[in-house]
Structure 1
Amino acid sequence: MNLKNSLIGLSLMAACSVSYAESFTLTSSDIADGKPMSQQQEFQGFGCQGGNKSPALSWSGAPEGTKAYAVLVHDPDAPTGGSGWWHWQMINIPQNVTHLEAGAGNPDNGLAPKSSQQIRNDYGVEGFGGACPPKGDKPHRYRFTVYALSQRLELPEAPSAALTGYMVNHFKLASSTIEALYQVE
């Protein structure tokens, strides 16, 4: 095969990848792209007094070959010196699950899908940790991203957020994001 044919093949593969990514969508009845979240999604602690409730999330259009899903929530605006803040990482959501109920991020209420795993967030607890930007700071962006994965993840006990993110991205077939906002005045 010559270079021209190789480039054409890579272009076709990229086009197929883009079409998968465009058809894979994340929606929510609780949060919206570019819009402020409610106090229900605010953390309870660290000076914040919200409901600490993960929003309802639904997704559709996963590419062929999807074996599991992951949901990651990250605040890139947290004043951490560049690493941002991990609010939630749920992995190994079964391939037949395409919806998380509001509150599924609380491991004590039994709403998380069976066989899924919630990773310790940057508050130091497993499950969802709501928004809690510094009082008076600009609105922070909270990126709720669902990933279609080519396989279930095998991680060591108590993995770091960085390792979890690395493995999710390594096995990612497609992803879709809602970027919600939050500010404490």
Structure 2
Amino acid sequence: MSLIITSPSFRHNGKIPARHTCDGSGTSPALSWSGVSEGTKSLVLIVDDPDAPDPSAPEMIWVHWVLYNLPPDITGLPEGIHAENLPAGTVQGINDWSRTGYGGPCPPVGNHRYFHRIYALNTVLPDRKNVTRTMLMEMMQAHVIAQAELVGLYQRQEPIR
């Protein structure tokens, strides 16, 4: 069985509801996963947008959420989860708003793709302060057993000016 990540809020390559974005309440979507490999010691969740700032000329990957050391026996996160409700041992990294926690989609122009990636690791990572996506990817290197992704799409009705 392979690792799979899903959400009851949107299907793969489907539209992310506004409640999970800056046009709504900005709450994190519920996420579920299954097929965690035997030997998994921790899970990593990264949500990012490779289409920033404009999908027709992307310049960067915008990071929306970074979580690591999620226990391998959990099967998901509920909608709108806050730091105090994260599973024991889970560490939050820094997103591109220079803070921890979920930051919902808020694209300035165009239809963006939001990748929700879950990684199964064969280790528990050290708890370092202010870990970014880039730092986490380096820490994970050579420890990924499996990974899965769920892509959601979002385009604002009114572009930011």
Q: Tell me the TM-score normalised to structure 1 length.
A: 0.78
Instruction: Note the C-alpha offset of 1:160.
Output: 2.5
Unpaired runs of 5+ in structure 2?
none
Instruction: Note the C-alpha offset of 1:165.
Output: 2.2
Instruction: Note the C-alpha offset of 1:128.
Output: 0.4
Corresponding residue for 1:30?
Answer: 9
Instruction: Note the C-alpha offset of 1:158.
Output: 1.2
The match for 2:102 among 104, 108, 128 is 128
Structure 1 pair 149–123 and aligned structure 2 pair: CA distance change class (3 A): same
* 2:29 pairs with 1:55: yes
Q: Which of 161-170 and 92-101 deviates more?
A: 161-170
Corresponding residue for 1:97?
Answer: 74
Corresponding residue for 1:184?
Answer: 156
Question: 1: CA distance between counterparts of 2:33 and 2:88?
Answer: 18
Question: 1: CA distance between counterparts of 2:90 and 2:100?
Answer: 12
The answer as to whether partners of 1:103 and 1:111 remain within 8 angstroms in 2 is no
1:78-111 CA distance string (max 9 Å, x none) = 128633100001100011111111112x32xx32
Higher helix share: 1
Instruction: Note the C-alpha offset of 1:166.
Output: 2.3
Instruction: Note the C-alpha offset of 1:170.
Output: 3.4
Taking only the aligned residue pairs, the percentage that are identical comes to: 34
The one-letter code sitting in structure 2 at the alignment partner of 1:41 is H
Question: 1: CA distance between counterparts of 2:141 and 2:156?
Answer: 31
Unpaired runs of 5+ in structure 1?
1-19, 44-48
Instruction: Note the C-alpha offset of 1:24.
Output: 1.1
Q: Tell me the TM-score normalised to structure 2 length.
A: 0.88
Q: Which runs of 4+ in 1 moved over 6 A?
A: none
Corresponding residue for 1:111?
Answer: 85
The one-letter code sitting in structure 1 at the alignment partner of 2:32 is S
* 2:129 pairs with 1:157: yes
Structure 1 pair 178–169 and aligned structure 2 pair: CA distance change class (3 A): farther
The answer as to whether partners of 2:46 and 2:133 remain within 8 angstroms in 1 is no
Instruction: Note the C-alpha offset of 1:28.
Output: 1.1
Structure 1 pair 89–170 and aligned structure 2 pair: CA distance change class (3 A): farther
Greater RCO between the two (CA within 8 Å, min separation 6)? Answer: 2
1:58-78 CA distance string (max 9 Å, x none) = 111111210111110010001
3-state secondary structure, aligned to 2:33: strand
